[in-house]
Structure 1
Amino acid sequence: MPDLSNVTTPVEWVVTHSASKEPIALVRRLRLGAQRELYFRAVTWRPNPARRELVGYWGSLEEAVQNVYGLYERSLPPQFHVTGGGTARELQRLTKPKPPPASVQPATPAAPVHTRRPTALVHDRRMPTVRQPARPMEPRQLATAGR
Protein backbone atom coordinates (compact mmCIF):
# COMPACT_ATOMS: atom_id res chain seq x y z
CA MET A 1 0.00 0.00 0.00
CA PRO A 2 1.40 3.47 -0.85
CA ASP A 3 2.43 5.90 1.88
CA LEU A 4 -0.50 8.33 2.31
CA SER A 5 0.87 10.28 5.30
CA ASN A 6 1.43 13.33 3.10
CA VAL A 7 -2.18 13.28 1.93
CA THR A 8 -3.91 12.32 5.19
CA THR A 9 -2.20 14.81 7.50
CA PRO A 10 -4.82 17.40 8.55
CA VAL A 11 -4.21 21.00 7.55
CA GLU A 12 -7.13 22.65 9.38
CA TRP A 13 -8.72 22.13 12.80
CA VAL A 14 -12.01 23.47 14.15
CA VAL A 15 -11.64 24.62 17.79
CA THR A 16 -14.72 24.30 20.00
CA HIS A 17 -15.47 25.27 23.60
CA SER A 18 -18.17 23.95 25.94
CA ALA A 19 -19.45 27.50 26.58
CA SER A 20 -20.20 28.11 22.88
CA LYS A 21 -22.74 26.51 20.56
CA GLU A 22 -20.60 27.31 17.51
CA PRO A 23 -16.86 26.79 16.94
CA ILE A 24 -14.67 29.51 18.43
CA ALA A 25 -11.74 29.39 15.98
CA LEU A 26 -10.06 27.68 13.04
CA VAL A 27 -6.38 26.71 13.10
CA ARG A 28 -4.60 26.01 9.82
CA ARG A 29 -1.16 24.47 9.29
CA LEU A 30 0.99 26.49 6.86
CA ARG A 31 4.53 26.50 5.48
CA LEU A 32 5.76 30.07 5.04
CA GLY A 33 8.90 31.89 3.93
CA ALA A 34 11.89 30.85 1.86
CA GLN A 35 12.76 28.09 4.36
CA ARG A 36 9.15 26.78 4.36
CA GLU A 37 8.91 27.15 8.16
CA LEU A 38 5.96 25.47 9.86
CA TYR A 39 3.30 27.84 11.24
CA PHE A 40 -0.14 27.37 12.74
CA ARG A 41 -2.48 30.28 11.93
CA ALA A 42 -5.50 30.85 14.18
CA VAL A 43 -8.53 32.90 13.14
CA THR A 44 -11.82 33.54 14.93
CA TRP A 45 -14.84 31.57 13.74
CA ARG A 46 -17.51 33.30 11.67
CA PRO A 47 -19.86 31.58 9.18
CA ASN A 48 -18.79 34.19 6.60
CA PRO A 49 -15.02 33.68 6.00
CA ALA A 50 -14.60 37.37 5.10
CA ARG A 51 -15.55 38.35 8.68
CA ARG A 52 -12.96 36.12 10.41
CA GLU A 53 -10.22 37.91 12.34
CA LEU A 54 -6.61 36.87 12.76
CA VAL A 55 -5.66 35.71 16.26
CA GLY A 56 -2.00 34.94 15.49
CA TYR A 57 0.64 32.51 14.20
CA TRP A 58 2.38 29.94 16.42
CA GLY A 59 5.01 27.24 16.01
CA SER A 60 2.84 24.32 17.19
CA LEU A 61 -0.79 23.27 17.09
CA GLU A 62 -0.92 22.92 20.88
CA GLU A 63 0.36 26.47 21.39
CA ALA A 64 -2.14 27.91 18.89
CA VAL A 65 -5.09 26.13 20.53
CA GLN A 66 -3.90 27.11 24.03
CA ASN A 67 -3.88 30.78 23.01
CA VAL A 68 -7.28 30.53 21.32
CA TYR A 69 -8.76 29.01 24.51
CA GLY A 70 -7.01 31.59 26.70
CA LEU A 71 -8.35 34.53 24.70
CA TYR A 72 -11.84 33.06 24.49
CA GLU A 73 -12.02 32.34 28.23
CA ARG A 74 -10.95 35.92 28.99
CA SER A 75 -13.93 37.17 26.98
CA LEU A 76 -16.41 35.17 29.11
CA PRO A 77 -18.15 36.63 32.19
CA PRO A 78 -16.39 35.90 35.53
CA GLN A 79 -19.00 33.33 36.61
CA PHE A 80 -17.70 30.94 33.90
CA HIS A 81 -14.35 30.75 35.72
CA VAL A 82 -15.75 29.58 39.06
CA THR A 83 -15.31 25.92 39.98
CA GLY A 84 -17.78 23.75 41.90
CA GLY A 85 -15.99 24.64 45.15
CA GLY A 86 -16.59 28.36 44.62
CA THR A 87 -12.99 29.26 43.73
CA ALA A 88 -11.91 30.76 40.42
CA ARG A 89 -9.84 28.45 38.23
CA GLU A 90 -6.68 29.57 36.50
CA LEU A 91 -7.08 30.70 32.87
CA GLN A 92 -5.03 29.28 30.01
CA ARG A 93 -1.59 30.89 29.80
CA LEU A 94 -1.03 33.12 26.74
CA THR A 95 2.23 33.00 24.78
CA LYS A 96 3.66 35.36 22.21
CA PRO A 97 2.95 34.55 18.56
CA LYS A 98 5.76 33.20 16.39
CA PRO A 99 7.52 35.99 14.47
CA PRO A 100 7.11 36.15 10.69
CA PRO A 101 9.55 34.09 8.58
CA ALA A 102 13.03 35.54 8.25
CA SER A 103 13.58 37.48 5.08
CA VAL A 104 16.85 38.13 3.30
CA GLN A 105 18.56 41.05 5.06
CA PRO A 106 20.60 43.57 3.04
CA ALA A 107 24.39 43.48 3.61
CA THR A 108 24.50 47.15 4.70
CA PRO A 109 21.83 48.72 6.85
CA ALA A 110 19.60 51.06 4.90
CA ALA A 111 18.79 54.55 6.11
CA PRO A 112 15.57 54.59 8.15
CA VAL A 113 12.53 55.59 6.18
CA HIS A 114 9.92 57.46 8.21
CA THR A 115 6.66 56.44 6.66
CA ARG A 116 3.44 55.40 8.31
CA ARG A 117 2.65 51.72 8.04
CA PRO A 118 -0.90 50.82 7.10
CA THR A 119 -2.91 49.93 10.20
CA ALA A 120 -4.12 46.69 8.61
CA LEU A 121 -0.57 45.31 8.66
CA VAL A 122 -0.02 46.39 12.25
CA HIS A 123 -3.30 44.81 13.39
CA ASP A 124 -2.50 41.44 11.78
CA ARG A 125 0.61 40.96 13.91
CA ARG A 126 -0.89 41.82 17.29
CA MET A 127 -2.85 39.75 19.72
CA PRO A 128 -6.45 40.92 19.90
CA THR A 129 -7.30 43.06 22.87
CA VAL A 130 -8.98 41.33 25.75
CA ARG A 131 -12.33 42.77 26.73
CA GLN A 132 -12.50 43.73 30.39
CA PRO A 133 -15.68 43.07 32.36
CA ALA A 134 -17.94 46.10 32.61
CA ARG A 135 -17.45 48.14 35.77
CA PRO A 136 -20.51 49.08 37.78
CA MET A 137 -21.52 52.65 37.10
CA GLU A 138 -21.12 55.11 39.95
CA PRO A 139 -24.23 57.14 40.79
CA ARG A 140 -24.15 60.64 39.32
CA GLN A 141 -25.74 63.67 40.81
CA LEU A 142 -28.12 65.49 38.50
CA ALA A 143 -27.45 69.17 37.90
CA THR A 144 -31.11 70.00 38.53
CA ALA A 145 -31.30 68.25 41.92
CA GLY A 146 -32.60 70.43 44.76
CA ARG A 147 -34.67 72.84 42.65
Structure 2
Amino acid sequence: MSFGRIHCFLVSTKASQVVYERFYDRLSESEKAEVRAAFFQASSAYSDNQTHVAAYKAARFVFMPVADMVFFLLSSGEMDELAAADALATIVNALPEVLGRAPSSSLLLERYARMALVVDEIINEGLLEATDVDVIRKAIKNKATWE
Protein backbone atom coordinates (compact mmCIF):
# COMPACT_ATOMS: atom_id res chain seq x y z
CA MET A 1 0.00 0.00 0.00
CA SER A 2 1.39 3.38 -0.93
CA PHE A 3 0.94 6.37 1.31
CA GLY A 4 -1.41 9.32 0.97
CA ARG A 5 -4.23 7.63 -0.85
CA ILE A 6 -7.49 5.75 -0.58
CA HIS A 7 -7.02 2.00 -0.78
CA CYS A 8 -10.58 0.72 -0.66
CA PHE A 9 -14.22 1.80 -0.64
CA LEU A 10 -16.86 -0.73 0.35
CA VAL A 11 -20.60 -0.73 1.00
CA SER A 12 -22.18 -3.65 2.81
CA THR A 13 -25.41 -4.51 4.53
CA LYS A 14 -25.39 -4.66 8.31
CA ALA A 15 -25.47 -8.45 7.88
CA SER A 16 -21.99 -8.18 6.26
CA GLN A 17 -23.10 -8.83 2.69
CA VAL A 18 -21.07 -6.76 0.23
CA VAL A 19 -23.18 -4.50 -2.00
CA TYR A 20 -20.30 -2.65 -3.69
CA GLU A 21 -16.54 -2.74 -3.30
CA ARG A 22 -13.67 -1.07 -5.06
CA PHE A 23 -10.02 -1.77 -4.26
CA TYR A 24 -7.58 0.80 -5.68
CA ASP A 25 -4.50 -1.34 -4.94
CA ARG A 26 -3.61 -4.78 -6.23
CA LEU A 27 -4.43 -7.17 -3.42
CA SER A 28 -4.82 -10.91 -3.42
CA GLU A 29 -8.20 -12.41 -2.60
CA SER A 30 -6.94 -13.41 0.86
CA GLU A 31 -5.77 -9.83 1.54
CA LYS A 32 -9.15 -8.50 0.40
CA ALA A 33 -10.85 -11.00 2.72
CA GLU A 34 -8.67 -9.72 5.61
CA VAL A 35 -9.72 -6.14 4.88
CA ARG A 36 -13.40 -7.13 4.75
CA ALA A 37 -13.07 -9.08 8.02
CA ALA A 38 -11.49 -6.05 9.73
CA PHE A 39 -14.29 -3.84 8.43
CA PHE A 40 -17.07 -6.16 9.56
CA GLN A 41 -15.52 -6.83 12.97
CA ALA A 42 -15.10 -3.12 13.73
CA SER A 43 -18.60 -2.14 12.61
CA SER A 44 -20.59 -4.80 14.42
CA ALA A 45 -22.14 -2.60 17.14
CA TYR A 46 -22.29 1.09 16.24
CA SER A 47 -25.09 3.59 15.83
CA ASP A 48 -26.35 5.05 12.56
CA ASN A 49 -25.24 8.25 10.84
CA GLN A 50 -22.04 8.68 12.86
CA THR A 51 -18.53 8.32 11.49
CA HIS A 52 -16.24 5.90 13.32
CA VAL A 53 -12.50 5.27 12.96
CA ALA A 54 -10.53 2.03 13.31
CA ALA A 55 -7.04 0.81 12.41
CA TYR A 56 -5.97 -1.85 9.95
CA LYS A 57 -2.23 -2.64 9.82
CA ALA A 58 -0.40 0.59 8.86
CA ALA A 59 -3.59 2.22 7.57
CA ARG A 60 -6.83 3.40 9.11
CA PHE A 61 -10.40 3.20 7.99
CA VAL A 62 -13.55 5.15 8.63
CA PHE A 63 -17.02 3.73 8.49
CA MET A 64 -20.54 5.06 8.75
CA PRO A 65 -23.67 2.96 9.33
CA VAL A 66 -26.58 4.44 7.34
CA ALA A 67 -30.04 2.81 7.25
CA ASP A 68 -29.50 -0.89 6.46
CA MET A 69 -25.94 -0.39 5.14
CA VAL A 70 -22.43 0.41 6.31
CA PHE A 71 -20.05 2.53 4.20
CA PHE A 72 -16.28 1.93 4.63
CA LEU A 73 -13.22 3.81 3.37
CA LEU A 74 -9.62 2.60 3.94
CA SER A 75 -6.81 5.15 3.62
CA SER A 76 -3.25 5.83 4.75
CA GLY A 77 -0.55 8.49 4.83
CA GLU A 78 -1.60 12.06 4.14
CA MET A 79 -5.20 10.88 3.77
CA ASP A 80 -5.75 10.99 7.53
CA GLU A 81 -8.92 10.12 9.43
CA LEU A 82 -10.43 13.56 9.01
CA ALA A 83 -9.88 13.64 5.24
CA ALA A 84 -11.17 10.07 4.88
CA ALA A 85 -14.25 10.90 6.96
CA ASP A 86 -14.88 13.94 4.76
CA ALA A 87 -14.59 11.82 1.59
CA LEU A 88 -16.95 9.22 3.03
CA ALA A 89 -19.47 11.89 4.08
CA THR A 90 -19.31 13.34 0.55
CA ILE A 91 -20.23 9.96 -0.93
CA VAL A 92 -23.04 9.41 1.58
CA ASN A 93 -24.41 12.93 0.96
CA ALA A 94 -24.13 12.71 -2.84
CA LEU A 95 -26.03 9.43 -3.14
CA PRO A 96 -29.49 10.80 -2.18
CA GLU A 97 -28.95 13.74 -4.57
CA VAL A 98 -28.11 11.48 -7.49
CA LEU A 99 -30.43 8.55 -6.71
CA GLY A 100 -33.44 10.72 -5.90
CA ARG A 101 -34.12 9.34 -2.42
CA ALA A 102 -32.32 8.10 0.69
CA PRO A 103 -30.06 5.15 -0.15
CA SER A 104 -30.85 1.61 0.93
CA SER A 105 -29.22 -1.64 -0.10
CA SER A 106 -32.08 -2.45 -2.48
CA LEU A 107 -31.93 1.02 -4.08
CA LEU A 108 -28.15 0.77 -4.53
CA LEU A 109 -28.52 -2.59 -6.23
CA GLU A 110 -31.33 -1.22 -8.40
CA ARG A 111 -29.29 1.84 -9.44
CA TYR A 112 -25.84 0.30 -9.28
CA ALA A 113 -24.49 2.19 -12.31
CA ARG A 114 -25.37 5.57 -10.81
CA MET A 115 -23.73 4.64 -7.50
CA ALA A 116 -20.57 3.58 -9.35
CA LEU A 117 -20.53 6.93 -11.17
CA VAL A 118 -20.78 8.79 -7.85
CA VAL A 119 -17.88 6.82 -6.37
CA ASP A 120 -15.76 7.22 -9.51
CA GLU A 121 -16.42 10.96 -9.59
CA ILE A 122 -15.27 11.35 -5.97
CA ILE A 123 -12.42 8.81 -5.88
CA ASN A 124 -10.29 8.49 -9.01
CA GLU A 125 -7.76 5.63 -8.86
CA GLY A 126 -7.37 6.06 -5.10
CA LEU A 127 -7.08 9.84 -5.13
CA LEU A 128 -9.75 12.20 -3.88
CA GLU A 129 -11.20 14.24 -6.75
CA ALA A 130 -14.51 16.09 -6.29
CA THR A 131 -16.00 16.86 -2.88
CA ASP A 132 -18.78 19.28 -3.82
CA VAL A 133 -22.15 17.55 -4.21
CA ASP A 134 -23.36 20.03 -6.86
CA VAL A 135 -20.26 19.47 -9.00
CA ILE A 136 -20.70 15.70 -8.66
CA ARG A 137 -24.37 15.86 -9.64
CA LYS A 138 -23.60 18.00 -12.71
CA ALA A 139 -20.73 15.74 -13.80
CA ILE A 140 -22.91 12.64 -13.55
CA LYS A 141 -25.66 14.28 -15.65
CA ASN A 142 -23.11 14.55 -18.47
CA LYS A 143 -22.32 10.84 -18.36
CA ALA A 144 -24.56 8.19 -19.85
CA THR A 145 -25.97 5.51 -17.59
CA TRP A 146 -27.53 2.26 -18.58
CA GLU A 147 -30.75 2.64 -16.62
Task: Give the TM-score normalised by the residue count of structure 2.
Answer: 0.28
- Higher relative strand content: 2
State which structure, 1 or 2, has the greater radius of gyration over its C-alpha atoms.
1
Larger RCO (CA under 8 A, 6+ residues apart): 2
- Higher relative helix content: 2
